[in-house]
Copies of this chain bind each other. A is one copy, B any other.
Amino acid sequence: MKEKTILKLKLNTDPRWVNIAGKNIEDILVDHAWCEQKAASTGISMIIHYPEKTRLVDELTDLVAEEWSHFERVLLELRKRGFQLGRPRRDDYVVQLLAHVRKGGARERQLMDQLLVSALIEARSCERFKLLWQHIADEELSKFYYELMVSEAAHFVSYVDLAKEYCDPVVVEERLQELLKIEGEIVTNLPVRDDRIH
């Protein structure tokens, strides 16, 4: 329950997920690699769009390096097991969440939504990594997911803090609550799959 409190997620992952995902490590690792790539690319994209925001640029520069080092490590886990990096797949979870980034209007509102959606993706990844850490049989991989869980929790906090740096913290908190509700609904409505992190 602790991570639910820290991360504020409205809904725990369906317990069936980790049982089926844990049996399909190849697809989970491939999907995970692409999640790290998307996280790195999203950070780069925000730096390109907001180069004048010093704190955002500095923190996301570190975050991109960290996400890319995770990509490297997931790739290593694939290689150790003789697996290929499969093709990237459409990530319905992320696509549906991104649809709630409000475009147009004040530039700060869009930035707030982008930062909060990124925060929620990190939070959900963290929750799933916790399940992998606790339940998968492969001890080495279990330790790996423990480390990544800790790292993603820190990224959740960074993204929310950045939103509060550039936008009214009261508005950020309200919007975070709205998006947490939306995120819970998206997760409820998506099928439980053995080949996806989300």
Contacts and interface: CB of A to CB of B under 8 A. Distances in A.
Contact of A65 (B51, B52, B58, B72): B72
Copies in the complex: 2
A49 to B, nearest CB: 10
A47 B41 CA distance: 12
Interface string A61-89: 11011001101100100010000111110
- Chain A: interface size category: 20 to 34
A68 to B, nearest CB: 6
A5 interface: no
A57 interface: yes
Contacts of A52: 84-85, 87
A48 interface: yes
A79 B64 contact: no
B79 A72 contact: no
Interface in A25-51: 37, 40-41, 44, 47-48, 51
Contact of A72 (B37, B61, B75): B61
A189 interface: no
B61 A71 contact: yes
A44 B64 CA distance: 12
B58 A47 contact: no
Nearest to A51: B85
A58 B75 contact: yes
Nearest to A33: B51
25 contacts: A37-B44, A37-B47, A40-B44, A41-B41, A41-B44, A47-B85, A51-B84, A51-B85, A51-B86, A51-B87, A51-B88, A52-B84, A52-B87, A54-B79, A54-B84, A57-B85, A58-B75, A58-B79, A61-B72, A61-B75, A62-B72, A65-B65, A65-B68, A65-B69, A65-B72
